[in-house]
Copies of this chain bind each other. A is one copy, B any other.
Amino acid sequence: MSGDGLETDQLVVDVFARNCSSRGILEHITGRWGTLALAALAEGPFRFNALRRKVDGVSEKMLAQTLQALERDGFVHREAEPTIPPKVEYSLTPRGAEVAAKLTALIEVVESAVPQVAEARARYDAAKAR
């Protein structure tokens, strides 16, 4: 624990500032798997492996890691039943639901834009090739 010249200011909020708390949080949410995990949980609670199947391509390690970060930040709730075999259910907290709602809105815009993006890319590549 060093308290040297670099002050890790606890309450910088503007995302555009470096060392800002909100950036770290935002990166958990907008990270490669964070977005997909939250969007999946927006459809309802999931058990670990069900979530893993839903979010196609994620490894055990990354899903566990992502879920832990989101749980620590208070966006995801983890409910473990101490049975054998273990049953663990993940769901959104109220705050997680708020975030997830914004994400699904974003995803919808993106999905509806897929064809236009394909066109835009073709134009860009054609122009660059010339």
Contact B74 A117 (CB under 8 A): yes
Contact B106 A13 (CB under 8 A): no
Given A95-B116, A116-B95, answer yes or no on A110-B29 (Cβ-Cβ < 8 Å).
yes
The interface-forming segment of A34-42, A59-67, A79-87 is A34-42
Q: Is the interface of A mostly helix, strand, loop or mixed?
A: helix
Interface footprint category on A: 35 or more
Given A18-B56, A95-B116, A105-B102, answer yes or no on A111-B13 (Cβ-Cβ < 8 Å).
yes
Any chain B CB within 8 A of the CB of A109? yes
Q: Once bound together, how far apart are the Cα atoms of A121 and B35, in whole Å?
A: 20
Contact B22 A120 (CB under 8 A): no
A27 CB to closest chain B CB, in angstroms? 7
Q: Once bound together, how far apart are the Cα atoms of A17 and B14, in whole Å?
A: 34
Select which of B35, B95, B125 is within 8 A of A30 by beta carbon: B35
Listed by A's residue number, 19 A-B pairs whose Cβ atoms lie within 8 Å are A13-B111, A13-B114, A15-B110, A15-B111, A16-B39, A16-B55, A18-B56, A21-B114, A21-B118, A30-B31, A74-B116, A74-B119, A74-B121, A98-B113, A99-B109, A99-B113, A102-B105, A105-B105, A106-B106
